Amino acid sequence: MSAHISRSVLDALAALARSASGWEVCGLLTGEGDRVTGHLPSTNVADDPAMRFEIDPATLLAALKAERHGGPAIIGCYHSHPSGDPAPSRTDAHDAAPDGKLWLILAAHEAGLWRAVADGARFGRFEPVPWTITTPSGLHAGAGFSKRPGEPHIRSLDA
Ligand SMILES: [Zn+2]
């Protein structure tokens, strides 16, 4: 089953990633099920933000508290790979909890979607998740938008 990410969220995250030259931006994805409809940016509090990311614990706690009080559900996280690949690194696999959450990775021109699981194909921790882009009208924009045949979990950011 495909996940869905709204066009406005994807555009905002691509702009955030582009605005940070050389360091990783990060934050939380909100929505329902596998449908991403919002995002909460965080400061990257990692010691070496060029090489890894760590969501600010204060941002996470505030989001969890809001969720408990009827706010948007946290369904995953995002971060950027400024010079890299839209696939999780070994460091990402080491840091990820196998909690079934979505991981969106923004590279320079592509985005990849993954799920953190206990027994994944990528470094034992991540499974690729096919996804489509939704627009306010509900249409699935960008069909065939993946430039990589056979890799429906990777999509171009250069619409
Ligand atoms: Zn990473």
Q: What is the mean pLDDT of each run of 10 residues along the chain (159 residues)?
A: 91 94 95 96 96 96 97 97 91 96 94 97 97 78 62 85
Pairing of strands 124-128, 154-156: unpaired
Report all structural domains of the chain as residue ranges with CATH numbers, in order of start: 3-150 (3.40.140.10)
Specify the pLDDT at position 139: 61
Specify the pLDDT at position 10: 95
Distance 139 CA to ligand 1 centre (A): 30
| CA distances (Å), origin 57, targets 13, 22, 27, 82, 151 | 20, 23, 11, 23, 33
The set of catalytic residues is 24
User: In whole angstroms, what is the distance from residue 10 CA to residue 154 CA?
Assistant: 13
Specify the pLDDT at position 124: 97
| DSSP states along 14-76 | HHHHHHSSSS--EEEEEEETTEEEEEEEE-B--SSTTT---B-HHHHHHHHHHHHTT-PEEEE
From first CA to last CA, the distance across the chain in angstroms is: 23
Specify the pLDDT at position 55: 98
Distance 2 CA to ligand 1 centre (A): 22
Distance 107 CA to ligand 1 centre (A): 10
| CA distances (Å), origin 159, targets 36, 84, 114, 144, 151 | 19, 19, 21, 12, 17
User: In whole angstroms, what is the distance from residue 78 CA to residue 26 CA?
Assistant: 5
- DSSP H/E element including 116: strand 110-120
User: In whole angstroms, what is the distance from residue 104 CA to residue 107 CA?
Assistant: 10
